[in-house]
């Protein structure tokens, strides 16, 4: 190796060799000493070169050389930035030479070094990829390690989410070569090639399409479909799924062949192969032409999906400890942990973005299975086929709903639930029978039947709630049977019943009012019997009831049933980060607005707990920022929930909340949390500050100058919730302060104009900004806005979608003032203004007269002929609204 003037010192070489030799001894004490010695010798300035010297020297043992390669990777990674370009070039050249070393372990360790060297910027080492590709021409041990190195480099590119341009720079050179290799009969790397290309198809489909003849590649892949290798079968199926998911046209000529192949694989005895094949049907349901695509195959596909919806042995093994009467057994630590981490997404039994199984239909640790994918596919097919699916489906359901094997019966009930969204209208004639069947099934001796029946009842709640039959027929029986199973002997059934009941409450809304007493009795029993996971869901159910019946829940007899139990749970926790305590707080945040002043007896202790949480978290954050080595980053979720609770208290208690604000440092704490790094905390803190503006502005007025800049800074549409609340708070401030907001207007308008230039008309945040902008137009005596006509046009389109309210009233007054001040607005935007003012249902008389005057003035100014041109552009419904509201 030519390192110019560099020569190794013999004593250093001996020291390093001794350490490496000791590192091969499997003894804990020796290994501790080795680590200490390594920490010392790594400080040698040219340690990298010594390692390369050792690994390059065939006179040393293969074990020593291989270990040097491992250390070399870590060392170069740590000192990479301090290595000169000249020496880096030599290191690269030497590593390429060593990749062809006769020793396999040396080749493997050097391969990892190459991957590490290439990960930052492959463009700075243009000779690497061609060097590795040249090795493919003559299959040998070197070609194998070269291909594996290339694959690892590519996987790093995906992992590091490199840009399309960087990916294309490599794939356009390599993928055609890989495709040629794949076409060769004796290709020994076919599995690795297909797996690699699939990885890129998942993340960079368009780039791969530019790099590769996808039609030729697909034909090459199809040759390997008959492989007996399970992984190869899965990779071939995945390729078909990715082509379908990306609407790749080159799949079309082979579609019939592909579908027959996947029908066969979906029935494979290996569940993982069947699952990967089943993904094709789930993907197909997302296509608008799904029905046309699948209808020729439905007579074969439907029975396969139904059969695969039966629990597998793997799933039953995972659930074996929770199939019997376990309500008196404590929740296991693993279950508590999994429930606390349910937001990871693995808890859904199936998901099609819009709908998902309750997490207790199949516990979260089972993961995505063939059963779930089959159910999700059937759900999607039902949405696409609607009632046309029923002639095919009903005969199968009739057969398996009464099957003697209760696991097959369970899968039938699952199927009934899966098709609810798509087929509910077509199923109407069958629903009286089906709902009664499900109510009866709630008393089945097998817990799996009761669990799935809860979920399926939840899917049919819209029909149950709105059935033309009397409430005694379905509403009350379903409600009572779900409440009854709150205290089921099986905990999974408990949780499934609570979750279904939450759905029932959300749909029933005010129809629940006559039954609040009965519902609270069910909740009381839950408090007495539930353990960790069921208790969590009970808190959700309480919140759902509060949101459904509102202040009807505030009666003393209801308060006495609910609050002592809930406050007992609240008082049991002295650790703010305890998940159970956070769950109670979340429940209170949903409950308090419904209880209104009935919450007063409990408000003081809750208020000061919330303030303590916020204070402690702020102090812990300061400590961590100042001494990160001594203090951990605090958990900020409790602080976020505390803000939610305080906001709910402000909503529910109204003027009674002011005394707490005035006798505490809440306002000072909000100054800090409105600038938090965590966007969700800023969002809730600003919402609370906005509510304080409404409740007690005189108390805030002396410090408002300190808070307005914070609100302006948070007008960033990348954080939609934060931006929405900031705009709402600024709108409130403007309406209350009037002309006193003038010193801040120019600063406020900069982000407002940027946001309103290209708004999304269907997103509430943009509507809130438009309302606030128009309110500022109303209170401001002088405004200078670039492209004002364009901005006002967008405001017209946004605020027309807002329901009648005080904010809308004030915003329209501002809009009227602005358009009068800018007559040029009407030349291009007359219809937008007309459409906006026609959106009112109950408009105040003075505002109505103002709008009428503007319209009449414009009509007069433009003359009869021009007016007719403008007016004829309006759609007929709009003309009718203008005549009805304003006589224009």
HSE of 3 in the Cβ direction (CA atoms, 13 Å)? 17
**Residue for token pair 């109204």:** 654
pTM here is 0.83
596-601 long-range CB contacts below 8 Å, 24 or more apart?
Answer: 596/551, 596/554, 596/652, 596/653, 596/654, 597/554, 597/652, 597/653, 597/654, 597/656, 598/554, 598/555, 598/556, 598/559, 599/563, 599/649, 599/652, 599/653, 600/653, 600/656
What is the mean pLDDT for each group of 10 consecutive residues in the chain (888 residues)? 66 80 75 72 76 84 84 79 77 86 88 83 79 78 84 85 84 90 82 92 93 95 93 96 96 96 97 97 96 96 97 90 77 51 39 42 71 96 96 94 94 97 94 96 95 96 88 91 94 94 96 96 92 88 96 95 93 78 93 96 96 95 91 92 97 96 96 95 97 95 95 95 97 94 93 92 92 94 83 94 93 93 84 92 94 89 82 86 88
Query: Which pLDDT belongs to residue 332?
Result: 60
User: 257, 225 in Cβ contact below 8 A?
Assistant: no
The CA–CA distances, whole Å, from 380 to 31, 291, 420 equal: 57, 10, 11
> What would the DSSP string read from start to end of 808-833?
HHHHHHHHHHHHHH-TTHHHHHHHHH
**Residues whose CB falls within 8 Å of the CB of residue 400, separated by 6 or more in sequence, listed in order:** 306, 408, 409, 411, 412, 415
Q: Residue 709 and residue 707: Cα distance in Å, rounded?
A: 6
Q: Which residues of 339-372 are buried (b: 16+ CB within 10 A; e: fewer)?
A: beeeeeeebbbbbbeebbbbbbbbbbebebbbbb
Cα first-last separation, the chain: 92
**Residues whose CB falls within 8 Å of the CB of residue 377, separated by 6 or more in sequence, listed in order:** 278, 281, 282, 284, 285, 305
**Residues whose CB falls within 8 Å of the CB of residue 850, separated by 6 or more in sequence, listed in order:** 813, 816
Q: From 672, 692, 691, select the one nearest 682 (Cα to Cα).
A: 672
Q: Which residues of 42-51 are buried (b: 16+ CB within 10 A; e: fewer)?
A: eeeeebbbbb
User: 266, 273 in Cβ contact below 8 A?
Assistant: no
Domains of the chain from N-terminus onward: 266-323+347-411 (no CATH), 428-550 (1.25.10.10), 555-714 (1.25.10)
Query: Which pLDDT belongs to residue 29?
Result: 74
**Residue for token pair 């040629």:** 180
User: 111, 155 in Cβ contact below 8 A?
Assistant: no
Q: From 637, 635, 649, 721, select the one nearest 686 (Cα to Cα).
A: 721
Query: Which pLDDT belongs to residue 360?
Result: 41
User: 777, 783 in Cβ contact below 8 A?
Assistant: yes
């Amino acid at each position: 190796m030519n390192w110019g003037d560099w020569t190794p010192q013999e004593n250093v070489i001996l020291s390093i060799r001794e350490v490496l030799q000791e590192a091969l001894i499997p003894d804990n004490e020796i290994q501790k000493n080795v680590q200490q010695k390594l920490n010392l010798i790594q400080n040698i300035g040219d340690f990298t070169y010594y390692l390369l010297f050792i690994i390059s020297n065939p006179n040393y043992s293969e074990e020593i050389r291989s270990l040097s390669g491992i250390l070399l990777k870590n060392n170069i990674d740590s000192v990479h930035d301090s290595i000169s370009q000249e020496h880096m070039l030599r290191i690269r050249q030497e590593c390429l030479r060593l990749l062809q070393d006769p020793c396999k372990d040396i080749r493997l360790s050097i391969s990892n070094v190459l991957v590490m060297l290439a990960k930052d910027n492959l463009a700075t080492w243009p000779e690497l990829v061609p060097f590795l590709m040249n090795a493919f021409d003559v299959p040998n041990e070197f070609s194998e390690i070269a291909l594996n190195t290339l694959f690892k480099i590519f996987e790093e590119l995906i992992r590091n989410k490199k840009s399309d341009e960087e990916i294309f720079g490599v794939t356009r050179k390599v993928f055609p070569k890989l495709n040629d290799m794949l076409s060769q009969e004796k290709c020994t790397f076919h599995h690795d090639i297909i797996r690699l290309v699939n990885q890129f198809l998942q993340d960079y489909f368009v780039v791969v399409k530019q790099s590769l003849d996808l039609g030729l590649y697909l034909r090459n892949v199809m040759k390997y479909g008959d492989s007996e290798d399970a992984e190869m079968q899965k990779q071939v199926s995945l390729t078909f799924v990715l082509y379908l998911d990306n609407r790749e046209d080159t799949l079309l000529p082979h579609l019939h062949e592909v579908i027959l192949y996947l029908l066969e694989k979906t029935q494979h005895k290996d569940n993982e192969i069947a699952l990967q094949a089943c993904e094709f049907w789930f993907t197909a349901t997302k296509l608008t032409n799904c029905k046309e695509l699948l209808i020729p195959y439905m007579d074969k596909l439907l029975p396969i999906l139904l059969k695969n919806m039966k629990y597998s042995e793997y799933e039953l093994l995972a659930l074996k400890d929770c199939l019997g009467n376990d309500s008196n057994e404590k929740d296991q630590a693993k279950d508590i942990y999994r429930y606390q981490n349910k937001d990871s997404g693995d808890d859904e039994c199936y998901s099609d973005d819009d709908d998902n199984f309750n997490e207790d239909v199949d516990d979260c640790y089972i993961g995505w299975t063939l059963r779930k994918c089959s159910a999700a596919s059937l759900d999607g097919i039902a949405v696409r086929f609607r009632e046309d699916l029923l002639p095919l489906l009903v005969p199968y359901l009739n057969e398996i709903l009464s099957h003697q094997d209760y696991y097959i019966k369970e899968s039938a009930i699952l199927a009934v639930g899966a098709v609810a969204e798509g087929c509910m209208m077509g199923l109407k004639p069958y629903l009286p029978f089906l709902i009664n069947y499900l109510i009866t099934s709630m008393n089945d001796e097998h817990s799996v039947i009761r669990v799935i029946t809860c979920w399926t009842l939840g899917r049919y709640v819209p029909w149950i709630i709105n059935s033309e039959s009397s409430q005694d027929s379905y509403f009350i029986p379903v409600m009572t049977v779900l409440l009854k199973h709150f205290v089921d002997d099986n905990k999974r059934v408990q949780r499934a019943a609570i979750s279904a009941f939450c759905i029932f409450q959300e749909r029933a809304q005010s129809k629940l009012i006559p039954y609040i007493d009965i519902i609270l009795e069910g909740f009381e029993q839950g408090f007495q019997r539930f353990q960790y996971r069921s208790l969590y869901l009970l808190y959700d159910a309480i919140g759902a009831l509060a949101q459904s019946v509102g202040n009807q829940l505030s009666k003393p007899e209801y308060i006495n049933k609910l609050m002592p139990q809930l406050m007992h749970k609240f008082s049991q926790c002295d650790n703010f980060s305890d998940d159970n305590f956070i769950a109670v707080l979340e429940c209170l945040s949903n409950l308090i607005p419904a209880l209104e002043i009935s919450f007063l007896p409990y408000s003081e202790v809750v208020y000061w707990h919330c303030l303590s949480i916020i204070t402690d978290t702020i102090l812990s954050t300061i400590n961590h920022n100042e001494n990160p080595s001594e203090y951990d980053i605090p958990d900020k979720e409790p602080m976020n929930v505390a803000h939610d609770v305080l906001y709910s208290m402000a909503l529910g208690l109204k003027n009674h909340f002011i005394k707490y604000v005035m006798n505490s440092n809440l306002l000072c704490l909000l100054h800090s949390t409105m600038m938090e790094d965590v966007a969700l905390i800023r969002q809730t803190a600003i919402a609370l500050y906005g509510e304080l503006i409404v409740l007690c502005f005189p108390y805030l007025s002396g410090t408002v100058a300190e808070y307005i800049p914070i609100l302006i800074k948070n007008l960033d549409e990348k954080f939609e919730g934060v931006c929405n609340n900031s705009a709402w708070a600024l709108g409130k401030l403007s309406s209350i302060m009037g002309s006193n907001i003038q010193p801040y207007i120019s600063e406020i308008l900069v982000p407002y104009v940027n946001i309103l230039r290209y708004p999304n008309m269907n997103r509430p945040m943009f509507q809130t900004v438009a309302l606030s902008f128009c309110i500022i137009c109303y209170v401001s005596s002088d405004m200078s806005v670039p492209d004002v006509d364009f901005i006002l046009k967008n405001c017209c389109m946004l605020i027309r979608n807002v329901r009648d309210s005080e904010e809308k009233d004030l915003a329209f007054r501002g809009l009227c003032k602005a358009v009068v001040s800018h007559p040029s607005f009407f030349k291009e935007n007359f219809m937008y203004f007309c459409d906006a003012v026609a959106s009112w249902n109950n408009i105040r008389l003075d505002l109505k007269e103002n709008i009428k005057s503007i319209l009449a003035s414009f009509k007069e100014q433009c003359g009869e002929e021009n007016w007719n041109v403008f007016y004829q552009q309006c759609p007929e419904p709009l003309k009718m609204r203008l005549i009805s509201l304003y006589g224009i």
